[in-house]
């Protein structure tokens, strides 16, 4: 049975960079955000979103992601409602993706809100990526061309590092990419040893 390794970290921690490095090392990686974008193109999901959030977050028939983000990242209840629509669909998308790798020992499931969504319970091993808060804020401002206030409000919606680390098997500090990559190699060695022992 293929083991699922959960890879998570707060906004700006650089978890996608780490996920890409795992991929370079030959481990298949499912990015939950990409899965969410895929399922959000489905007519039935868009209908549910429209029903919940109204026509004003659409430009014609096209979902305006920026407008939706503005609503949900400032309102926990609205975020929970969106997640209740999207998460089950992402779960189905992941399960169908996983079928093509069922002969492999493990795959990576990368998700920003692995813990918050409860999906961590379905993972065999969990890796948390961390970075100092100021580094994370700067990364997100650069990447999303956003403001410090907006980044901080999104951070408040997520678990903090201490809480994540307390439920994780491995932690990668992604302040220095070279050292972070060395951590990935170490983790893969440990996982391979455990796999050979089981």
CATH of the domain at 143: 3.40.50.300
16 has binding-site annotation: yes
Q: Label residue 39 exposed, middle or buried (CB < 10 Å: 0-12, 13-18, 19+).
A: buried
- Count of domains in the chain? 1
Under a CB-based contact definition with an 8 Å cutoff, are residues 74 and 152 in contact?
no
Please tell me the distance from the alpha carbon of residue 151 to that of residue 168, in angstroms, as a whole number: 24
Mean pLDDT of 10-26: 95
2 has binding-site annotation: no
13 has binding-site annotation: yes
pLDDT band at 76 (very low <50, low <70, confident <90, very high): confident
15 has binding-site annotation: yes
Range of the domain at 76: 3-197
What is the value of pTM for the model shown? 0.91
Under a CB-based contact definition with an 8 Å cutoff, are residues 53 and 78 in contact?
yes
């Amino acid at each position: 049975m293929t083991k699922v390794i959960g890879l998570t970290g707060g906004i700006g921690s650089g978890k996608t960079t780490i996920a890409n490095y795992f991929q370079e090392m030959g481990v298949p990686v499912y990015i939950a955000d990409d899965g969410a974008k895929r399922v959000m193109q489905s007519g039935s999901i868009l209908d549910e979103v429209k029903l919940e959030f109204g026509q004003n977050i659409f430009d014609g028939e096209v979902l305006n992601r920026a407008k939706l983000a503005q609503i949900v990242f400032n309102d926990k209840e609205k975020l929970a409602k969106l997640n209740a629509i999207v998460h089950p669909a992402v779960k189905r998308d992941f399960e169908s993706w996983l079928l093509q790798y069922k002969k492999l020992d493990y795959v990576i499931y990368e998700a920003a809100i692995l813990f918050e969504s409860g999906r961590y319970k379905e993972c065999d091993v969990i890796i948390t990526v961390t970075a100092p808060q100021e580094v994370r804020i700067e990364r997100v401002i650069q990447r999303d061309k956003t403001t410090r206030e907006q980044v901080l409000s999104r951070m408040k919606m997520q678990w903090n590092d201490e809480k994540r680390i307390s439920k994780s098997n491995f932690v990668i500090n992604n302040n220095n990419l070279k050292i972070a990559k060395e951590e990935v190699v170490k983790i893969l060695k440990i996982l391979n040893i455990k796999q050979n022992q089981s």
